[in-house]
Amino acid sequence: GEDVEQSLFLSVREGDSSVINCTYTDSSSTYLYWYKQEPGAGLQLLTYIFSNMDMKQDQRLTVLLNKKDKHLSLRIADTQTGDSAIYFCAESRTGTASKLTFGTGTRLQVTL
């Protein structure tokens, strides 16, 4: 079955760049997502990338997709304390949000 793996924890200093990595197994994945969860809040969609793209940039966020290696990364430039949260990678084979396969989430801690 589909599987999505992430490292559990990342600590960065405020102002540095954060890179959160994700690997997935399903070569039929059509959309790949990054969700953010702040304490006590739901899963908020940050960005997504279609599988025929290599890169997507949205303000401080850059998503890189290496389809050959089934590797997805999220880069946050100029990381702020407000970026501290859990970041979930997710994939969808159907190309819709109807059935997402999530990773375990990476807890990003931003220190001063």
Residue 52 as a binder of another protein (CB under 8 A): the answer is: no
CA–CA gap between residue 53 and residue 86 (Å, rounded): 25
* Stretch of 15-23, 56-64, 73-81, 84-92 lying at the interface with another protein (CB under 8 A): 84-92
CA–CA gap between residue 88 and residue 90 (Å, rounded): 6
57/104 with CB nearer another protein: 104
* Size (the chain), residues: 112
* Stretch of 19-27, 57-65, 66-74, 88-96 lying at the interface with another protein (CB under 8 A): 88-96
Residue 56 as a binder of another protein (CB under 8 A): the answer is: no
Q: How far is CA 21 from the centre of its chain?
A: 7
Q: How far is CA 60 from the centre of its chain?
A: 13
- By CB under 8 A, name the binding residues for another protein: 4, 31, 35, 40-45, 48, 88, 90, 92, 95-105
